[in-house]
Chains A and B, each alone.
Chain A
């Protein structure tokens, strides 16, 4: 079953605006990750936030994590046309060597020049 669910499913903004994507999950986690997928390409890791962290920054990316609400958000500031992609959150399920990363269905972001 799916662990993470992103919201909204699709988002269209103008270049320069901020984009916020949300992710909800169901079980306890020790970290949450965000990935980007450009059209026709593989997924690329963006950022990992641990369960004891509330906020993390990487360049124009800001990720928050609220473990009490089982939710995370990804904010992209001052968006660019090159940010057009699908964004996925992912959470680990299981532990040790048998653990796996479960992906949500993603948010498709379109940034218009």
Chain B
């Protein structure tokens, strides 16, 4: 069974569209994250949620809106997509607290044309 699963894996869309990426973890973790990896493989945290509560928001444009309906799910909705949003988005989870091992999903490849 996949521990952290995210869908879709590939997404190609036009500028200005709105899209969502869904994520689910079955590890029983309290903390979930969204990371963005750019074309140079630099991995940057976007958001962190603990038990459905937003904990970290790394100055991400408000076109990005995470939603956590329960602690096992963290979805990412992006409005008015821009070319610069093209990247790989990783969902991840970990036990509560800083410095714990993080478990990543397989990534969602977003291409904005």
Contacts and interface: CB of A to CB of B under 8 A. Distances in A.
A100 B103 contact: no
B interface: dominant SS: strand
A99 B94 CA distance: 11
B98 A45 contact: no
B102 A45 contact: yes
B12 interface: no
Contact of B97 (A45, A48, A96): A96
Given A40-B107, A102-B45, 14 more contacts: A42-B92, A43-B104, A45-B101, A94-B98, A97-B98, A98-B55, A98-B56, A98-B98, A99-B97, A100-B33, A100-B48, A100-B56, A100-B98, A103-B42
Interface of A: 2, 30-31, 33, 37, 40-45, 48, 86, 88, 90, 92-103, 105-106, 108
Q: Which 10 A-B pairs have the closest CB atoms?
A: A99-B98, A92-B99, A42-B104, A103-B43, A92-B98, A43-B104, A42-B106, A45-B101, A106-B41, A31-B99
